[in-house]
Amino acid sequence: MRLTKPTLFTNIPVTCEERDLPGNLFNQLMKDDPSTVKGAETLMLGEMLTLPQNFGNIFLGETFSSYISVHNDSNQVVKDILVKADLQTSSQRLNLSASSAAVAELKPDCCIDDVIHHEVKEIGTHILVCAVSYTTQTGEKMYFRKFFKFQVLKPLDVKTKFYNAESDLSSVTDEVFLEAQIQNITTSPMFMEKVSLEPSMMYSVAELNTVDTVGKSESTFGARTYLQPMDTRQYLYCLKPKQEFAEKAGVIKGVTVIGKLDIVWKTNLGERGRLQTSQLQRMAPGYGDVRLSLETIPDTVNLEEPFDITCKITNCSSERTMDLVLEMCNTNSIHWCGVSGRQLGKLHPSSSLHLALTLLSSVQGLQSVSGLRLTDTFLKRTYEYDDIAQVCVVSSGVKQS
């Protein structure tokens, strides 16, 4: 028998107006019904609990509990009784018996009881196999099995999206934003006890699911974190590479492990469930052989007035030294100040250099900084960098805020 929490008893209120033919009969019957709430007889919810009438649904992440009883229906004493309970899934067979020792004897009308527990970690068909072996008084060894088949369903639908926020400020490392969409696909509401992100060793994480009001942190979902059937909730997290991995994180290639989601919920009468996703992976942005990023740039500049920016050039190659030449190409709105075609010197593998540049804009509005070219003289290869950043250009008569 599966052990589950009871449910609150519900009844269907039947009432009518006093001028109708039954008069006050229905109302009086509801008042006399012991399952109704006194003073609120027309409510469907009662004060009594109902034991489960069937196996019910079991969901991934919940704990499956079952009561096993072996009863001696005969009038003879049997010996060496061994009860074994296994759970067969699509991929493995698990032994759930609390003890593997045999019981010396079992008298008539006596029983052997056992309660087993198992946290369900697979969806699909599960078969509980209960095997009993014993020896009769004549010394004959007997054996029989019983099978109990049930389905494990998926309680939540989890979808994730990654957003790469490449930083332009030297004080802030490159950030990754993770959006997790969690949908309740069961038929009953859930209380979301915890939804957290356990980051990998390379990252630290900040949860963006609370707001600070009057010095107190409150959930963006309100005080009651219930998730109704088929409802979806979105959680947001910000991950930053740790200081010791900051440089490596900027040039890493291929798939990067971010971490995993840990989700804990409760259903009717506090039945607890927990799910952990597999390691979440995102494809790190590719920077090629040479990466150019902006360290400093003003938000607003005056029309036809020079302003300064600071660039960071990184050799993303782990083996090859580069000899770089910088060329600055003017666009319709952006004009570079200085000598184009100057030598930057040799840049060793995984190293970087900072470069201060001056430019001006001849057009008002939001202008894109473009026109930088880096040439590796060793390979005769040119790298083009356009739309590096954007700057707001205003008339010199406009006061900058």
Tell me which H or E stretch contains 168.
Answer: none
For residue range 131-158, list pLDDT tens digits in order. Answer: 999 998 888 899 999 998 889 999 999 9
Structure confidence at residue 169 (pLDDT) = 41
Whole-prediction pTM: 0.64
Which domains are delineated in the chain?
1-56 (no CATH), 58-154 (2.60.40.10), 156-284 (2.60.40.1230), 290-394 (2.60.40.10)
Cβ-proximal residues to 93 (8 Å cutoff; 6+ apart), any chain = 86, 87
Q: What is the pLDDT of residues 88-138, one digit of tens each?
A: 998 889 888 877 788 888 898 899 888 889 899 999 999 999 999 999 888
pLDDT tens digits for 337-362? 998 998 988 988 878 899 999 999 99
Among 51-65, 97-111, 277-291, the range scoring the smallest mean pLDDT is 277-291
User: What average pLDDT does the segment 216-241 reach?
Assistant: 86
d(CA 167, CA 240): 11
Q: Specify the residue for token string 């949860």.
A: 207
- Name the nearest CA neighbour of 192 among 163, 221, 157: 221
| Residue of 206, 159, 203 whose CA lies nearest to 179 | 159
Tokens representing 181?
Answer: 């969409």
